[in-house]
Structure 1
Amino acid sequence: MSAFSNALSVTASGLQAQSMRLRTLAENIANADTPGYRRKTIPFDAEQAASSEMTRVVPGRVALDRKDLVQIYDPGHPLADSTGHYLGSNVDLLIELADAREAQRSYEANLKMFEQTRQMSSALLDLLRR
């Protein structure tokens, strides 16, 4: 039964990591028009459990994208300088939407794995009860 709990733990860590990634992507999309906003990224790390050979996915620290901010020309904007420019965000909506779709699909794959593992565990318990 330890293999089932290990499998559930690994898929749960994947679900948690992709959920955090989706929250970060949603924050980026929501702030795409916020002046001076820098895109946030979240790396994933592998963590080896001390008591077993199981490796889990752990989200790393949120980092800011160091890509240059876009200069926007709008002389009427309150943040515009003497040349009529202000710094926009460095969020590219196309990249964010593609990343969100990838994270969603990965989340769904982890969820299916979780469900299959749970069903297999339940079927094994039913066989053992007979």
Structure 2
Amino acid sequence: MYPQGRHPVSGGPGCGGWGRGASRNSNLGVPPQTPLQSGQPFKFSILEICDRIKEEFQFLQAQYHSLKLECEKLASEKTEMQRHYVMYYEMSYGLNIEMHKQAEIVKRLSGICAQIIPFLTQEHQQQVLQAVERAKQVTVGE
């Protein structure tokens, strides 16, 4: 595929000006070595580079895995929070409706009392008015 001596790994002229050997190793974090003489094998520096790439890949893979777990945990917490929000919203809405119903009942009963009280005797009117005033003074404990 490549002409003799021009394979990118061999460091020949088709190698983009890197020359032969380890001068490009310093760019990958591998300590620079003395340039290789012609005929020396490249296996040692290539193995170091491959090991370094493998270590960095494993490190990045571990980071990815931990971040993925954290993301899944946060997503489940988000889902749980949304579920709680909906539940509290529904409870709040139901309580609001119930409060309005109770207020309407109080208004209607007060109207009925106001219509009936004039038909009572004076003595009974006083008793009923006192009872109504006591009923309006509700405490937290009740």
Asked if TM exceeds 0.5, the reply is no
Does 1 or 2 have the higher relative contact order (CA < 8 Å, sep 6+)? 1
TM-score (norm 2): 0.33
Greater fraction of residues in strand: 1
Q: TM-score, normalised by structure 1?
A: 0.36
Q: Hey, which of these two has a bigger chunk of helix by percent?
A: 2
